[in-house]
Amino acid sequence: MLIRRLEITGVRNLSRACLENLSPINILFGDNGAGKTSVLESIYLLSSARSFRGHKLKPLVNIDMDSCVSFAEIDIEGLGYQPVGIKRFKASAKPGVIKVAGQHVKSASVLAENLPLQVINADTFQLLEGSPSVRRQFLDWGVFHVEHQFYSVWKSAQRCLKQRNSLLRHARIDQPQLAVWTSELVQHAELIHGYRAAYFTQLVPVFEKVLDRLIDLDGLQLAYFRGWDKDRTFTEVLASNQQREQEQGYTLSGPHRADLKLRYRASNAADILSRGQQKLVVCALRVAQGYLLSQLTGKSCVFLVDDLPAELDFRHRKALCGLFEELQCQVFVTCVDHNDLVGCWGDDTSISMFHVEQGKISEVVAGGFAPAP
Ligand SMILES: Nc1ncnc2c1ncn2[C@@H]1O[C@H](COP(=O)(O)OP(=O)(O)OP(=O)(O)O)[C@@H](O)[C@H]1O
Ligand SMILES: [Mg+2]
């Protein structure tokens, strides 16, 4: 279990809330607007230093406060449970403060490394119907956690792209400079593609198995596109794009154009699957990443599932809950009515229940509600 205790100050309507007795499965229930998603948002802050509901800090921080804090005790590999905290200020010019095990940390990637996290919410439909960048982020999440070199190579490729695009925008292009950045970009692009392709090859069979447990969608196919023509080298593609790139002022192909394609019966899956089917496919993709992470690294990840019952009938809710139990990861699930999840979990599963009401959180213990400290 990665998170043992959670303290939230000033995130949306949660002026001050504390969740003490966390379990592998944690259910947060309550009326609309109570603050359930805000609890998930606070956990997400601990993994990425930002919200999953947009980049603006002003709406994230409680209307009457200047800053928000999310603090937790997190099981860090080799160190045991350690305090991890993040403070963000409403004034966006003021940098946030990140502390891990008592030390100030500069990069949010340290948070992501210590707390691998998967979110399943209304936005996750974007994984099927959104732009390629959403699917790239999904793929790169996995690559980041299993391939330690990936992040630095990815950052270098971003730098090359920026430099190259800036040269391409000039009226008179500095060709020698362009050749330097092109050559560097090619090297990084090949590495990124190598990491992504290796990860993708391992993900596919796990995804197929997980999907099979959730829903019968025989014929659903997941494919990886590297961002440039599969039959030519990246150097050849860049050479043939030269004229158009100079006209348009940016790099047309490359790892920044990679994508995952999901097809079902010769159509784009997003165009043909029902809402519930789409949710199950997205869940299968994310749960598969959780399985693969633990297989390849021994690490487990935390799942944040906002409104789990939405779109799913009882049989499919139960199948999804069963997968989470099997994965032995920690899960935070929200729902309006906790009765919607009755019968979905095994008898021996450790579950904590929290009632969220107007920004206050009470742990539900046998026989009634106990206010959280
Ligand atoms: N910056 C803020 N300061 C204070 N309150 C806020 C702020 N931003 C949002 N809120 C309020 O905080 C509450 C947080 O809602 P949240 O989305 O967490 O609710 P929820 O329990 O997930 O509801 P639903 O079931 O409708 O999804 C809402 O009532 C919202 O109006
Ligand atoms: Mg919500």
- Tell me the pLDDT tens digit for each residue of 31-67: 999 999 999 999 999 999 999 998 899 999 999 999 9
Closest CA to 359 of 14, 2, 11: 14
Ligand 1 pocket member 30 (CB < 6 A): yes
Nearest CA to ligand 1 atom 7: 12
User: Tokens in use for 366?
Assistant: 């046998």
Residues whose CB falls within 8 Å of the CB of residue 10, separated by 6 or more in sequence, listed in order:
16, 61, 62, 65, 67, 68, 69
- Tell me the pLDDT tens digit for each residue of 190-217: 999 999 999 999 999 999 999 999 999 9
The domain 124-299: what is its CATH number? 1.20.1050.90
Q: Crossing angle of helices 275-297/314-327, nearest 10°? A: 10
- Tell me the pLDDT tens digit for each residue of 232-291: 999 999 999 999 999 999 999 999 999 999 999 999 999 999 999 999 999 999 999 999
Long-range contacts of the stretch 90-94 (C-beta < 8 A, 24+) = 90/57, 90/58, 90/61, 90/65, 90/66, 91/57, 91/66, 92/56, 92/57, 92/58
Domains of the chain, by residue range, sit at 1-116+302-373, 124-299
- Tell me, in angstroms, the distance from the centre of ligand 2 to residue 32's CA: 7
Specify the fold of 1-116+302-373. Rossmann fold (3.40.50)
Ligand number nearest CA of 64 is 1
- Tell me the pLDDT tens digit for each residue of 307-359: 999 999 999 999 999 999 998 899 999 999 999 999 999 988 889 999 999 99
86 contacts 111 by C-beta, under 8 angstroms: yes
Domains 1-116+302-373 and 124-299 equal at CATH topology level? no
Nearest CA to ligand 1 atom 29: 33
Ligand number nearest CA of 88 is 1
